[in-house]
Structures are given as structure tokens and as C-alpha cells.
């Protein structure tokens, strides 16, 4: 009888402890929710931190500023702009005003859709539910050089580059100084294009390097892509 009473008492104590723990958890969550409701700015900061953490898994983000967050709410008004051509309503845009970079992220599928250099419009420097249609991606000028003896590689890879960087313009396609490059390399010619260069390199499974000593730096270009034998067909064409 005494043993049964001890078991009952123990059970009551365990239930009481669990109830207190659950109540404390929900009370703390309630306090957090109230704090956010009473401070909309804090909610925006938390959203920015959360989204930046998610996007940083895919690409390196500017570390000296917090992004402004905007949401694509009317794709039809933005579809004529290259940066938003792949966007959907509900996509998030992380805007870094100092770095002049914008990142298009799809929260629903956890995917980084696009990255671009932007001239940030004043409408984008504030928290907004609509992305301004006046945010114009800056064109990235790319020179492509074939560093192999295989014909047609620049034409083959041009559409691949534009898939990952829709605002790119291939200004020159030519042969490299030599034809025995083993791997494809990407060279940053203008510092502001470094993020775009990294994106291209990641997509092509290439490396970002300095300008090879044999190569002449192209004029009026932001990125140089030297195609290596890793992108050539197994039985390259002659010529």
C-alpha cells in the first residue's frame, strides 16, 4: 500500500514538473512574440539574420553590413528585368547597399536563384513588401578565351554562363595565349564583379585565379573566363 502511494506521488511530481516546464516554454515564447509585435524593427532584423544565415550556405555574403529584405509580390511587373526573370511571388531579395549586391532566394524550396550587382534605388533601402521595378542589374562584361585545341568551346559555354549570370554580356570570344590549359579558370578583372565571378566559377566547377602571366589583360571587361581541357569533349575536334 505504501509502495503504491509512493508510485502515485512520484507520478504526480513528474507530471507537475513536465507541466511547469511546458508552461515556462510557452510563456517564454509568448514574451518573445510580444516583444517582436511591439517592436517591428526587431522582427525585420530577425528575418534579415535568418535569411542571411540560409543564403550563406550557398555563397559568401558581405560581412560588414546587414541586408535589407524585400519580397517579390508582383512578378509581372518585374519579369522584363534579367535578375527577376526566374523569380516567383514570395521570393526574398537580400539587398546589401554598401556592397551594391542583391541575392534572390526562394524560401519555399531553399534555393539561391540569382545574384547580381545593382544600382540600389532608394525604394529598396527600406523594408518593403514590393521589390521596386527600378532596381536595374548592372551588366557584367565577360571575355571568353579558348585555352584548348578543341573548336567551339566558347560558343558551347556561353549559354551556360548566361544561365547563372543573366545580366552577363560576352564582349569577346577568342583563343587564349596557349592551348594547353588543363582546367577552366575565372579571372576577376574588376573588383565589383568578384561575386559574379565566384558564381560563374562555382557553376562551371572552375577556379578563380589571378591573370596568368601568358595572358594579356582584356580592356573594358569585368571577368575573363579561360576554358580548359576539362570542358573539352573526350575526342576534341581538330583545328
pLDDT tens digits for 135-183? 445 688 999 999 999 999 999 999 989 888 877 899 999 999 999 999 9
Q: What is the mean pLDDT of the chain?
A: 76
Q: What pLDDT, on the 0 to 100 scale, is given for residue 178?
A: 94
End-to-end Cα spacing for the chain: 98
Model confidence band, residue 85 (pLDDT cutoffs 50, 70, 90): confident
Residue range(s) in the chain whose domain bears CATH number 3.30.70.2390: 140-231
Answer for the pair 196, 142: CB distance below 8 angstroms, yes or no: no
In the chain, count H helices and then E strands. Answer: 4, 10
Contacts of 87 (CB under 8 A, 6+ apart): 72, 75, 78, 79, 104, 113, 114
Round to whole Å and give the CA distance between 84 and 82. 5
Q: What pLDDT, on the 0 to 100 scale, is given for residue 89?
A: 84
Taking residues 14-25, report their average pLDDT.
54
Taking residues 185-191, report their average pLDDT.
91
Model confidence band, residue 5 (pLDDT cutoffs 50, 70, 90): low
Query: Percent of the chain, pLDDT > 90?
Result: 27
CATH level 3 topology of 140-231? Alpha-Beta Plaits (3.30.70)
**Top-confidence residue, 220 or 43:** 220
Taking residues 45-49, report their average pLDDT.
77
What is the sign of the dihedral through the CA atoms of 217, 222, 223 and 224? negative
Fill in the DSSP letter of residue 49: H
Which of these, 187, 196, 183, lies nearest to 217 by C-alpha position? 187
Amino acid at each position: 500500500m505504501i509502495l503504491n502511494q509512493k508510485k502515485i506521488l512520484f507520478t504526480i511530481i513528474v507530471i507537475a514538473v513536465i507541466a511547469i516546464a511546458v508552461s515556462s516554454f510557452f510563456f517564454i515564447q509568448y514574451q518573445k512574440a510580444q516583444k517582436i509585435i511591439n517592436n517591428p524593427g526587431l522582427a525585420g532584423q530577425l528575418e534579415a539574420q535568418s535569411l542571411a544565415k540560409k543564403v550563406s550556405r550557398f555563397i559568401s555574403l558581405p560581412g560588414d553590413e546587414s541586408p535589407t529584405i524585400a519580397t517579390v509580390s508582383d512578378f509581372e511587373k518585374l519579369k522584363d528585368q534579367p535578375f527577376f526573370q526566374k523569380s516567383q511571388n514570395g521570393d526574398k531579395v537580400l539587398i546589401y547597399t554598401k556592397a551594391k549586391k542583391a541575392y534572390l532566394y526562394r524560401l519555399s524550396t531553399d534555393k539561391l536563384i540569382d545574384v547580381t550587382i545593382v544600382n540600389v534605388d532608394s525604394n529598396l533601402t527600406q523594408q518593403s513588401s514590393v521589390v521596386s521595378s527600378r532596381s536595374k542589374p548592372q551588366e557584367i562584361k565577360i571575355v571568353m578565351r579558348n585555352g584548348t585545341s578543341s573548336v567551339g568551346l566558347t560558343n558551347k559555354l556561353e549559354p551556360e554562363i548566361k544561365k547563372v549570370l543573366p545580366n552577363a554580356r560576352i564582349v569577346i570570344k577568342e583563343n587564349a595565349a596557349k592551348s594547353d590549359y588543363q582546367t577552366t579558370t575565372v579571372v576577376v578583372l574588376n573588383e565589383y564583379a568578384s561575386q559574379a565571378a565566384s558564381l560563374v566559377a562555382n557553376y562551371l566547377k572552375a577556379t578563380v585565379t589571378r591573370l596568368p602571366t601568358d595572358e594579356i589583360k582584356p580592356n573594358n571587361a569585368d571577368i575573363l573566363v579561360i576554358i580548359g581541357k576539362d570542358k573539352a569533349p573526350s575526342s576534341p575536334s581538330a583545328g
